[in-house]
Structure 1
Amino acid sequence: MTGSTTVVLVRGLVLFLATSHFSVGEPRGSRKTMFSIQNETTPSTTHREGKVFSLFNIVQFKNEGCRSTSTISSGGTGSNNRNGTCYTSTECTTRGGSAAGSCASGFGVCCVFLISNSGATVAQNCSYLRNPGFPNAYTETSQVSYTIQKCDRSVCRLRLDFESFTLLGTGNTFELLDTAAGGQCRDMFTVSSNTGNTLPTICGQNTGQHIYVEMGCLDSDTVSVNFNIDGSTAVRMWEIKVTQVKCNTEGQPRNCGCLQYHTGLTGRLTTFNFLPTNDNHLANQEYSICIRQEAGMCCVEYTVCTDARSYSLEAKADGINMQDSACSKDYVGIEGGSATCNASPGDVLFTQFCGNVFTTDEAAVLNMPICDCTKPFRVDIFTDGDTDTAAATNNVAHSRGLCLEYRQIPC
């Protein structure tokens, strides 16, 4: 994403066209072959003028992304190969990268940037932040941080892909009835930038998730990525791919406020730390998951995943399902939620959903599809800081979080 170009001068053959002093039919070697290399401004009167052709190939290639031969064991984002940047071997070494495969028809190497040292400054696009000692787990209790600088002045935001992400979660399960505040992170992953945008603190199991971070308008703007360890010895591991995104890049979110951005006709959305089945959803979350409207599509239909407790932000014993202003604690926001995708202009549209089941019907006992035809397509997640244990809130099941499948509906 730097936009730079590498120039390689490849030495070729040097050919001489000159006067030969042996005749056809004479034994080769009976006379010396004499080559006359003349200066164009001083022609020779003794020999016919000779010419020299020096062949050099000037190879230019852009320092673009490439797929390396370096593999990721977890495959969090669906690919087992790390991405790199195409440089010459010398450039790769100078910039602190590692060559993993070739590119530019063999004139370049796919340079991979792997950063494991706490306190490191990252200035290369498509770098991987890894825990110290990776691929071994991190068992220390000290904090780890990285600073990300722009690789190009036209960069507006970062995309962080969690190829591997295992921290201590909340430790608060329905079975344990923990007396601590439900959903409060023990380890804490935080990201901060000069834009002033507030990003949620996350923890637990988040392999395969991603977030976008606004980076600011100035060339000197940076982003700080921090892992705050709670002090206990435990198994932690992370590898986060950092992609720097230029302003107005095609296929990327154009509006601010999208912490996550999904593309495609179908997909799955989950809250952070949904992967483990016995931990709690995270507290104090407030962010938006955006979905790109695909060509010819006018609506998005959301259904609850078949995984256990896929809609369990705040399950109450009274069994009430609530919408809109009745949702004051944990809820899902959908701007134009309706039971059907062909709602009439006079139909009631809901914007917030909470309670025991995902529905527009307060009396329903089963989750139902909810359709949204209001652009841009977005799902808002909001959780408060209250305790989510059964004893404190009369929850009938521990609050695992949210998992929704979506599909776009044609116009």
Structure 2
Amino acid sequence: MTGSATVASVLGLVLILATSHFSVGEPRGSRKTIFSNLNETTSATHREGKVFSLFNVVQFKNEGCRSTSTISSGGTGSSNRNGTCYTSTECTTRGGSAAGSCASGFGVCCVFLISSSGATVSQNCSYLRNPGFPNAYAETSQVSYTIQKCDSSVCRLRLDFESFSLLGTGNTEEFLDPNPGGQCRDMFTVSSNTGNTLPTICGQNTGQHIYVEMGCLDSDTVSVNLNIDGSTAVRMWEIKVTQVKCNTEGQPRNCGCLQYHTGLTGRLTTFNFLPTNDNHLAKQEYSICIRQEAGMCCVEYTVCADASSYSLEAKNDDGTNMQDSNCSKDYVGIEGGSATCNASPGDVLFTQFCGNVFTTDEAATMNMPICDCTKPFRVDIFTDEDTDEAEATANEKHSRGLCLEYRQIPC
């Protein structure tokens, strides 16, 4: 999001630029003073013999910039943090750190790194980090941040989990664990004045993101809280906070999208899917939205190559696959699920899927692609708060959650 313009006064540089265009013996009336700034170069004729002073004001917008500050991306290499272009003085005054230059060298790429619990964040593109970062957080106290709007036109936030490692559920087989139903030990919560309920998450979520509605008033804020369960453990987080203007191109237009993916292909995972020895989270109810790209009419979903990439408890979980009414506990919702992307009007469409096999065929023993041609494209995630066990026998399948690859299909 673009902020106001910054003004930088540059005298010495302009003087050099101007005098470098003068030559001894120039014809009378031909001398020109060059005024240079970022947007244009103007000429003005000066009378010979007059004493003149040169003063130029350079203006540049406080736009986003790519800093020289880097962050490790969870074992997938490193990337550069984003910043905002300010003068060096403004960056220091606003509490940022200069990391590289911008605006043709007239500004610095200012990065905002917040590690103090209780801090108030008012700069766009700020990074919330655990106290002591890049060292792990081993304390047992709670950590919180308050995010204020940087501009009255802001409608929502996007939180990108550059690094996110908290205690998860601690469950590998939920029916054997005293902590039932995938309840979080550490708890990451976000709340706003809109009253929208956001799921509590925990565990390993590096690379995930969420959108948060901020509200209509300039004074509306968002609270980010990390509730630590009291045990000493290694935690670490860095969360990029981007403030998004209303009706910004390429952003979700409808409320209710906790996550929003763009592009012809991509990957969707439930929270805390990364560790293979922990379970999916309890009490999750949210939507993952996919932007319909030009010329595309359907989306095809397939289970990720990992053999254990799909497992959600069914009504009577006996290790088989289930659809619709049999998915009264945990399920993934796909509005118009079909075995093919050219379903006929009379074909049966499914809306909910659960169990251990991802398919529209109740007799299938292997995962199969599921196609959805209803708009808008959306995947709903629902998990209950109960333990993963059936009416009489325990669920012996590791309920890890799901990982789906998607690709958009042309019309």
TM-score normalised by the chain length of structure 2? 0.89
Which sections of structure 2, spanning at least 5 residues, go unmatched? none
Contact 1:76 1:164 in 2 (8 A): no
CA deviation after TM superposition for structure 1 residue 77, in Å: 9.4
Higher deviation after alignment, 374-383 or 53-62: 53-62
Higher deviation after alignment, 376-385 or 22-31: 22-31
Q: Which residue of 2 aligns with 1:31?
A: 31
Counterparts in 2 of 1:92 and 1:177: CA distance versus 1, 3 Å: same
CA deviation after TM superposition for structure 1 residue 307, in Å: 1.5
CA deviation after TM superposition for structure 1 residue 60, in Å: 1.0
Separation in 2 of the partners of 1:195 and 1:39? 41
Counterparts in 2 of 1:8 and 1:361: CA distance versus 1, 3 Å: same
CA deviation after TM superposition for structure 1 residue 180, in Å: 2.1
CA deviation after TM superposition for structure 1 residue 178, in Å: 1.1
Counterparts in 2 of 1:249 and 1:117: CA distance versus 1, 3 Å: same
Separation in 1 of the partners of 2:305 and 2:192? 37
Separation in 2 of the partners of 1:140 and 1:401? 29
TM-score normalised by the chain length of structure 1? 0.89
CA deviation after TM superposition for structure 1 residue 299, in Å: 0.4
CA deviation map 1:253-307 (0-9, x unaligned): 0000000000000000000000000001000000000000011111000000011
Counterparts in 2 of 1:176 and 1:324: CA distance versus 1, 3 Å: closer
Higher deviation after alignment, 166-175 or 131-140: 166-175
CA deviation after TM superposition for structure 1 residue 16, in Å: 13
CA deviation map 1:181-231 (0-9, x unaligned): 130000000000000000000000000000000000000000000000000
Q: Which residue of 2 aligns with 1:214?
A: 213
Separation in 1 of the partners of 2:21 and 2:172? 96
Asked if 1:21 corresponds to 2:21, the answer is yes
Asked if 1:125 corresponds to 2:135, the answer is no
CA deviation after TM superposition for structure 1 residue 388, in Å: 2.3
Higher deviation after alignment, 350-359 or 131-140: 350-359
Contact 1:323 1:353 in 2 (8 A): yes
Q: Which residue of 1 aligns with 2:248?
A: 249
CA deviation after TM superposition for structure 1 residue 174, in Å: 2.1
Higher deviation after alignment, 395-404 or 227-236: 395-404
Counterparts in 2 of 1:37 and 1:285: CA distance versus 1, 3 Å: closer
Count of residue pairs the alignment pairs up: 409
CA deviation map 1:96-118 (0-9, x unaligned): 00000000000000000000000
Separation in 1 of the partners of 2:105 and 2:111? 16
CA deviation after TM superposition for structure 1 residue 309, in Å: 1.1
Separation in 2 of the partners of 1:84 and 1:26? 47
Counterparts in 2 of 1:347 and 1:88: CA distance versus 1, 3 Å: same
Counterparts in 2 of 1:141 and 1:17: CA distance versus 1, 3 Å: closer
Q: Indicate the RMSD between aligned Cα atoms, in angstroms.
A: 6.3
Contact 2:169 2:179 in 1 (8 A): no
Contact 1:19 1:49 in 2 (8 A): no
CA deviation after TM superposition for structure 1 residue 345, in Å: 1.1
Counterparts in 2 of 1:311 and 1:243: CA distance versus 1, 3 Å: same
Q: Which residue of 2 aligns with 1:382?
A: 382
Counterparts in 2 of 1:286 and 1:76: CA distance versus 1, 3 Å: farther
Contact 1:17 1:51 in 2 (8 A): no
CA deviation after TM superposition for structure 1 residue 314, in Å: 1.8
Q: Which residue of 1 aligns with 2:55?
A: 56
Which sections of structure 1, spanning at least 5 residues, go unmatched? none
Counterparts in 2 of 1:32 and 1:234: CA distance versus 1, 3 Å: closer
Contact 1:329 1:383 in 2 (8 A): yes
Q: Which residue of 2 aligns with 1:331?
A: 331
Counterparts in 2 of 1:67 and 1:391: CA distance versus 1, 3 Å: farther
3-state SS of paired residue (2:392): helix
% identical equivalent positions: 91
Question: If you compute each CA radius of gyration, which structure gives the higher value, 1 or 2?
Answer: 1
CA deviation map 1:339-395 (0-9, x unaligned): 000011111111111122111111111110000000000000000001126998522
Higher deviation after alignment, 77-86 or 140-149: 77-86
Separation in 2 of the partners of 1:36 and 1:146? 43
Counterparts in 2 of 1:52 and 1:76: CA distance versus 1, 3 Å: farther
Separation in 2 of the partners of 1:38 and 1:395? 66
Q: Within 5 A, what are the aligned runs for 1:246-395?
A: 246-314=245-313, 318-388=318-388, 394-395=394-395
Higher deviation after alignment, 383-392 or 166-175: 383-392
CA deviation after TM superposition for structure 1 residue 34, in Å: 24
Counterparts in 2 of 1:5 and 1:17: CA distance versus 1, 3 Å: closer
Separation in 2 of the partners of 1:268 and 1:37? 45
Counterparts in 2 of 1:53 and 1:182: CA distance versus 1, 3 Å: same
Separation in 1 of the partners of 2:393 and 2:178? 12
3-state SS of paired residue (1:76): coil
